[in-house]
Amino acid sequence: MIERFSGPGTMPCMHNDTITPIDRAWQERALCAQTGADFFFPEPGSSVREAKRICGMCEMRTACLDYALSHDERFGVWGGLSEKERLRLRRTENG
């Protein structure tokens, strides 16, 4: 819960806003959570083949890719796609 006060020059009162946390339960069930980040965030020029293989077996792949696209993740393999592949996908979706 976030408490917010009225700005200067206004009647003092407190507003309570509830922020719903993003559903990230998929992250706990994703295979990458049990594997380690090294495969999914490799050094520049390293292969992402193993990360893509793991993503291909993961039932959370779609949720992962949706998350990466909606949060503009720019690094690593998410949902089976590399940075360049996600960028290409965004460009084709946006025209």
pLDDT one-digit tens code per residue, 50-92: 999 999 999 999 999 999 999 999 999 999 999 999 999 989 8
Cβ contact 80:56 at 8 Å: yes
Determine the pLDDT at residue 9. 52
∠ at Cα 37 (32, 43), nearest 5°? 135
Cβ contact 69:83 at 8 Å: no
Is 64 annotated among the ligand-binding residues? Answer: yes
- Tokens linked to 70: 């909606």
**Integer Cα distance of 55 and 73 in angstroms:** 16
Is 32 annotated among the ligand-binding residues? Answer: yes
Q: pLDDT, tens digit, for every residue of 33-45?
A: 988 888 899 988 8
